[in-house]
Amino acid sequence: MEIVLADKTYEIVVKRNALDSVGEWIASLWKNKKIAIISDENVFPLYGEKIQQQLTAYEVCHYNVPAGESSKSLEMATVLYEFLADHQFTRSDAIIALGGGVVGDLAGFVASTYMRGIAFVQIPTSLLAQVDSSIGGKTAVNSSRAKNMIGTFAQPNGVLIDPETLSTLPDARVREGVAEIIKCGAISDASLWEDLEKLTGIQDLLTHSESIIKKALNVKKAVVEEDEFDNGSRLLLNFGHTIGHAIENTAGYGKISHGEAVAIGMAQISQVAENKGLSSVGLTEKIKNMNQKYQLPIAYQPWETEKFYAAITHDKKARGSHLNIVLLEEIGKAYIQNIKLSEIKDFLLEGK
């Protein structure tokens, strides 16, 4: 699978046991580079040595950030800039992002801004990162005001996905990735939605993970290729995210996982839209049933606080005095609803 953009094309490898040949893959992309593996304290002990052993032709160093959302910060980015500088990295060198979404976003942001940009690849090890954050070129760190507020668009040189890494994940981390797969089916691929309905649950999905991941990635691939910089149709990928990001911010980053927040966001915004006659009757029940099938939440009580609405007004999908909210006509067909920021609170509350 390839992402084909105006200025860059890169490969996405989805293959079981792909980590066994990661050295060959890197060699096909880079020659004569110094490489920094950026990972976290949970993931590197699992896969770091296997990767390093295959990179004997390169000078390799690594840095493990603390696991968790708190590492996605400007402070940690600064630590990594200094690490790269201490190891005399130049614009000719490169980064491997090895880990989940936090590591991928952080390492990608650092790569895109260190010396105005150096090469990097993504090796995502969580389901959430494999189906969402590792492709498309969005990099970011959080601020106290909003999730992913500080970031860049920077495409990787490649993405390598090994579904076998999912075997080491706790169930909760698998579930948050399933939320993004549900989103992909909901906005653009009714056949993927049907696949999710036929599967019996998390373990069955993991058995079929290679094909499910590919289907979800094809949804994102099509949208990214059409709208690389998130000004039009790519906004559709944010179904559930406006409320979801505000929930993450309100609860405190890491208290509710991104996938859980998105699951809640999909259910809540669908209820609002259905109540207002903006979505088909019965849609909310379908979303809620799918969430519950994969042990994802459907509600979050403190979502009416002033802090919640303040977080929404800082959402990256805001354009001037308006906010673009993604709604569904039906499963597999999404659209964008433009709402004045001054009216967002009434829009959400009146639709409850």
DSSP state of 133: I
φ, ψ (nearest 5 deg) of residue 75: -65, -45
Going along 100-153, which residue ranges are E strands?
Answer: 119-124, 138-141, 150-153
Phi/psi-derived region of residue 317, left when phi > 0, alpha when psi is between -120 and 50, beta in every other case = alpha
| Cα distance from N-terminal residue to C-terminal residue, the chain | 41
Which pLDDT does position 316 carry in this prediction? Answer: 57
Which pLDDT does position 302 carry in this prediction? Answer: 59
Task: Quote the CA–CA distance of 331 and 157 in Å, as a whole number.
Answer: 33
Element (H, E) at 242: helix 241-251
Partners of 130 in beta bridges:
none
Which pLDDT does position 317 carry in this prediction? Answer: 60
What are the structural domains, with CATH classification, of the chain?
2-168 (3.40.50.1970), 171-350 (1.20.1090.10)
φ, ψ (nearest 5 deg) of residue 316: -65, -15
Determine how many CB atoms are found less than 10 A away from the CB of residue 253.
Answer: 18
Task: Quote the CA–CA distance of 250 and 267 in Å, as a whole number.
Answer: 18
DSSP per residue, 322-348: EEEEEEEEETTEEEEEEEEGGGHHHHH
Which pLDDT does position 322 carry in this prediction? Answer: 82
Which pLDDT does position 309 carry in this prediction? Answer: 80
What's the pTM?
Answer: 0.90
Instruction: Give the type of residue at 88.
Output: Q
Cβ atoms of residues 67 and 55 within 8 Å: no
Record the tokens describing residue 304, joined without a space: 């009416």
Which pLDDT does position 47 carry in this prediction? Answer: 98
Record the tokens describing residue 157, joined without a space: 């040189």
pLDDT tens readout for residues 258-278: 899 999 999 999 999 999 999
Which pLDDT does position 80 carry in this prediction? Answer: 98
Judged on CB neighbours under 10 Å (0-12, 13-18, 19+), 82 is exposed
Task: Quote the CA–CA distance of 111 and 158 in Å, as a whole number.
Answer: 14
Which pLDDT does position 344 carry in this prediction? Answer: 83
Angle between helices 171-188 and 258-275 (to 10 degrees): 40
Which pLDDT does position 341 carry in this prediction? Answer: 83
Which pLDDT does position 196 carry in this prediction? Answer: 98
Which pLDDT does position 115 carry in this prediction? Answer: 97
Flag residues of the chain having pLDDT under 70: 301-304, 315-320, 350-352
